[in-house]
């Protein structure tokens, strides 16, 4: 067959950007282009409705191939394989070992052993924990909560004198005193100097195992505390640079320190931006390491572990968490993560069981074995949208990184409160967006499961931020939380009340214009179901009297009038004149509202309502 270079769809004439813009403006029919089609992100840049090849002009990083500096296209030269990781809480060494062996037989090839208390182990303890595990065939990770952890010493000794080839053992120990300082407000080692001296000691000990990383940058703490994608990346880079600076000043070479570092990121539901974040992370970290003059560009490779975030996970309608973690895992894979942990869907409110752990594990196996996401290096490369997002995320993160460096680095910025202030401001904004319905959290502030209720007792800490602050903290701390917690606490309060009382009932009194009453009844049902109230929708009533009679027969506590703005002027005063102990609510924000308020009508619900505050107010009236 003759070879040709004929372009696909060459028979169609090219369409210029100007022609596209003219067509879009025409179709908008007078609407503001910027308001209607441009997405204003939390990351400090706007996203256009479409991108073309011309948007990629000047992006020099596109000239590199996968596996080449600056590694924006990944650190792998062929394929996109990653470690499927599942964590095990170590309460009993033998039980943890048995669980590890079981997981390895079910598709996992990376283990995370999580120690929840400070306990020095012995060589015998470690051998029991790792019994019958081939360390050359998997990745093993140790997560320790405090500075007294002696895992690095034991693991290096065990591998160096054992049956394995040390150059083939891939492992990590999460040593990150700056993360401890961030959440506790003090260094476990007693002082800043002692903390960095301890890290230096860990790096020196780990030198015998070339693939053992002992500095674990906990960037996920920022994401799980409400930080934006740009903030998580910038602050994690600043944290990593602090270790580079301190340890090279202490006499270690950059080629010794950088390969001992591992970044741990959270992954949010912002699908495309998370892909861009990982690509931008490798790009920027390579530039940071390059400034220290490494002997080999390979020292500038970032190793990134990704964990599905907790910020958007929910207690109510928890199976939706599976959908969230699936898209998040996809983002991590397409972004080129080296290893991924998918958190079980129920992990935020109880100890995960065999079922939820199996689902979490299989979510990654499906991506690899059935969707073949591991076959192509940098599958997102070349996309006008992803490449532009990568450049935008990198630009904003680098700008913020330099601001932190101007403050004297990560630790200095923490002591000054700069980092905490920025994260808190972003978290507050995102919290408000959920309360004001500017952002949706499925099952929590929008489209709740009307029939769901929680009957078992739940520890109140599930609905509160995590606070690890030490009594003698030196700085303000970060407190990871879930954005739906306030709504969940509200609904749980209704569930507890309903165990010994009648559950509040919101009744839709629908009249008049068919389209408007249906739309407003649907909105109102969702509105009150968010608080766990029973809601009763109706097809429509001919008269106010008929509607109120039905409401009383249903023992309604709240009567919501649903109609059109034009009809409210007549219907609402008639309802107000006949309503009894029920709370009267108008669905909408009609032009006649001042007249209705003058007549004594107080309650209006609409898209600009503060959903959380108004539902709290209704609860206070009914409980």
Residue 5 has pLDDT above 90, yes or no: no
Chain CA centroid to CA 301, Å: 24
Band the pLDDT of 145: cuts 50, 70, 90.
Answer: confident
Task: Assess contact for 118 and 146: CB atoms under 8 A.
Answer: yes
Going from the C-alpha of 574 to that of each of 61, 69, 261, 538, the distances in angstroms are: 68, 73, 70, 19
Q: What pLDDT is attached to residue 120?
A: 81
E strand or H helix that includes residue 102: helix 93-104
pLDDT (0 to 100) of residue 292? 98
pLDDT band (50, 70, 90) for residue 9: confident
| 396-413 pLDDT per residue, tens | 999 999 999 999 999 999
- Asked whether the beta carbons of 185 and 469 are under 8 A apart, the reply is yes
pLDDT at position 153: 94
The DSSP output letter for 299 is G
Task: State pTM to two decimals.
Answer: 0.95
**Pairing assessment for the beta strands 558-562 and 505-510 based on DSSP bridges:** parallel
Greatest CA separation for the chain: 88
Mean pLDDT of 243-262: 98
Over residues 296-344, the pLDDT tens digits come to 999 999 999 999 999 999 999 999 999 999 999 999 999 999 999 999 9
Q: Flag whether pLDDT at 7 surpasses 90.
A: no
pLDDT at residue 130, as a whole number: 97
Are 169 and 135 in contact by the 8 Å Cβ rule? The answer is yes
Q: What is d(CA 400, CA 595) in angstroms, rounded to the nearest whole number?
A: 50
> For residues 37 and 590, what is the distance between their CA atoms, to the nearest angstrom?
27
Bridge partners, 143 (sequence order):
114
DSSP secondary structure code for residue 382 in this structure? T
CA distance 319 to 281: 31
507, 521 in Cβ contact below 8 A? Answer: no
Extended strands (E) in 272-331: 304-308
Peptide bond into 70 cis (omega under 30): yes
Q: How far is the C-alpha of 166 from the C-alpha of 185, rounded, in Å? A: 37
Q: Report the interhelical angle of 229-249 vs 384-406 (nearest 10°).
A: 50
**pLDDT tens across 563-617, in order?**
999 999 999 999 999 999 999 999 999 999 999 999 999 999 999 999 999 999 9
Angle between helices 418-435 and 229-249 (to 10 degrees): 160
Residue range 523-565, pLDDT digits in tens: 999 999 999 999 999 999 999 999 999 999 999 999 999 999 9
Nearest to 496 by CA among 453, 452, 526: 453
pLDDT band at 502 (very low <50, low <70, confident <90, very high): very high
The H-or-E segment that residue 112 falls in is strand 110-114
Per the listing, tokens 């909560």 go with 145
Question: Rounded distance, CA 171 to CA 181, Å?
Answer: 24
Contacts of 35 (CB under 8 A, 6+ apart): none
Averaged pLDDT for residues 79-107? 97
Q: Is the pLDDT of residue 1 over 90?
A: no
Q: Which residues contact 191 (CB under 8 A, 6 or more apart)?
A: none
Cα separation, 222 vs 518, whole angstroms: 42
Looking at residue 10, its pLDDT comes to 79
Residue 402: the pLDDT is 98
Long-range contacts of 586-593 (CB under 8 A, 24+ apart): 586/560, 586/561, 587/520, 587/521, 587/523, 587/524, 587/560, 587/561, 587/562, 588/520, 590/565, 591/565, 592/565, 592/568
SS3 track for 431-489: HHHHHCCCCCCECCCECCCCCCCCCCCCCHHHHCCCCCCCCCCCCCCCCCCCCCHHHHH
pLDDT, residue 335, reads: 98
pLDDT over 60 at 434, yes or no = yes
Q: Which among 573, 570, 566, 561 has a CA at the least distance from the CA of 599?
A: 573
Distance, CA of 139 to CA of 339 (rounded, Å):
9
| Residue 320: predicted pLDDT | 97
Strands 170-175 and 212-218: parallel
Using an 8 Å Cβ cutoff, are 389 and 383 in contact? no
Residues in the chain: 623
> Average pLDDT over the chain, rounded to whole?
96
**Cα 386 from Cα 397, distance rounded (Å):** 16
User: Residue 12: its pLDDT value, please?
Assistant: 85
CA distance linking residue 435 with residue 454, whole number of Å: 22
pLDDT level of residue 147 (50, 70, 90 thresholds): confident
529's torsion region: left (phi>0), alpha (psi -120 to 50) or beta?
alpha
List of E strands, 285-378? 304-308, 339-341
Distance CA 272, CA 274 (A): 5
* Predicted local distance difference test score (pLDDT) of residue 162: 85
pLDDT at 117 over 80: no
> What is the tens place of the pLDDT at every residue in 468-496?
999 999 999 999 999 999 999 999 999 99
**How far apart are alpha carbons 333 and 338 in whole angstroms?**
8
Query: For residues 45 and 398, is the Cβ–Cβ distance under 8 A?
Result: no
Q: State percent of the chain over pLDDT 90.
A: 94
Measured CA to CA, the distance from residue 586 to residue 606 in angstroms comes to 9
- Say if CB 563 and CB 516 are below 8 A apart: yes
Check: CB of residue 349 under 8 Å from CB of residue 315. Answer: yes
Distance from C-alpha of 185 to C-alpha of 171, rounded to nearest angstrom? 28
The answer to whether the beta carbons of residues 411 and 179 sit under 8 Å apart is no
Q: What is the pLDDT of residue 13?
A: 87
Closest CA to 61 of 398, 404, 409, 402: 398
Amino acid 4: pLDDT: 65
Q: Which residue segments constitute the domains of the chain, with CATH numbers given?
A: 69-373+380-411 (3.20.20.240), 502-622 (3.40.50.280)
pLDDT value, residue 3: 62
Q: Quick one: DSSP state of residue 57? A: T
Structure confidence at residue 282 as a pLDDT band (50, 70, 90):
very high
The answer on pLDDT for 6 being more than 80 is no
> Would you state the pLDDT for residue 134?
96
């Amino acid at each position: 067959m003759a070879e040709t270079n004929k372009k696909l769809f060459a028979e169609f004439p090219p369409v210029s950007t100007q022609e596209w813009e003219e067509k879009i403006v025409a179709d908008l029919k007078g609407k503001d282009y910027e308001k209607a089609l441009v997405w204003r992100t939390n990351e400090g840049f706007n996203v256009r409705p479409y991108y073309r090849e011309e948007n990629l002009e000047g992006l020099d990083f596109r000239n590199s191939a996968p596996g080449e500096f600056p590694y924006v296209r990944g650190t792998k030269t062929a394929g996109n394989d990653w470690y499927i990781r599942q964590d095990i809480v170590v309460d009993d060494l033998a039980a943890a070992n048995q669980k590890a062996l079981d997981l390895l037989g079910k598709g996992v090839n990376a283990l995370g052993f999580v120690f929840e208390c400070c306990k020095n182990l012995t060589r015998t303890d470690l051998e029991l924990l790792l019994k019958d595990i081939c360390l050359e065939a998997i990745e093993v990770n140790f997560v320790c909560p405090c500075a007294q952890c002696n895992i690095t010493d034991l693991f290096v000794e065990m591998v160096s004198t054992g049956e394995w080839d040390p150059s083939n053992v891939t492992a990590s120990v999460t040593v990150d005193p700056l993360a401890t300082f961030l959440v506790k407000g003090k260094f476990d080692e007693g002082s800043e100097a002692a903390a960095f001296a301890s890290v230096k000691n860990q790096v020196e000990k780990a030198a015998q195992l070339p693939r053992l990383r002992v500095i674990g940058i906990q960037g996920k703490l920022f994401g799980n505390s409400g930080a934006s994608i740009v903030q998580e990346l910038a602050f994690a880079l600043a944290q990593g640079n602090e270790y580079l600076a301190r340890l090279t000043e202490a006499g270690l070479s950059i080629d010794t320190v950088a390969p001992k570092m591992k970044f741990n990121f959270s992954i949010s539901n912002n699908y495309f931006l998370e892909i861009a974040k990982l690509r931008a992370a490798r790009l920027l970290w390579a530039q940071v390491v390059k400034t220290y003059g490494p002997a080999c560009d390979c020292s500038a490779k970032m190793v990134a572990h990704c964990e599905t975030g907790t910020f958007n996970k929910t207690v109510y309608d928890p199976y939706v968490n599976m959908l969230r973690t699936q898209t998040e895992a996809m983002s991590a894979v397409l972004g080129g993560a080296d290893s991924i942990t998918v958190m079980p869907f129920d992990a935020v409110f109880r100890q995960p069981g065999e079922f939820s752990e199996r689902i979490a594990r299989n979510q990654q196996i499906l991506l690899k074995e059935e969707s073949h996401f591991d076959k192509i290096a940098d599958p997102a490369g070349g996309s006008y949208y992803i490449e532009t997002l990568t450049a935008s995320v990198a630009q904003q993160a680098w700008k913020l990184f330099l601001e932190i460096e101007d403050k004297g680095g990560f630790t200095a910025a923490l002591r000054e409160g700069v980092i905490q202030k920025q994260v808190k401001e972003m978290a507050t904004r995102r919290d408000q967006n959920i309360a004001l319905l500017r952002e949706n959290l499925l099952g929590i502030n929008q489209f709740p499961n009307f029939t769901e209720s929680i009957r078992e007792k739940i520890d109140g800490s599930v609905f509160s931020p995590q606070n690890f602050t030490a009594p003698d903290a030196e700085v303000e701390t970060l407190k990871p939380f879930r954005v739906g917690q306030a709504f969940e606490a509200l609904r749980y309060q209704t569930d507890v009340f309903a165990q010994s009382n009648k559950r509040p009932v919101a009744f839709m009194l629908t009249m008049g214009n068919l389209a408007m009453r249906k739309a407003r009844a649907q909105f109102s049902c969702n509105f009150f179901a968010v608080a766990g109230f029973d809601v009763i929708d109706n097809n429509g009533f001919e008269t106010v009297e008929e509607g109120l009679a039905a409401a009383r027969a249903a023992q309604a506590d709240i009567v919501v009038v649903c109609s059109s703005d034009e009809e409210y002027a007549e219907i609402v005063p008639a309802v107000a004149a006949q309503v009894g102990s029920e709370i009267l609510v108008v669905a909408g924000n009609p032009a006649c509202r001042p007249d209705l308020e003058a007549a004594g009508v107080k309650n209006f619900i609409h898209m600009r309502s503060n959903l959380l505050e108004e539902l709290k107010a209704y609860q206070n009236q009914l409980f």
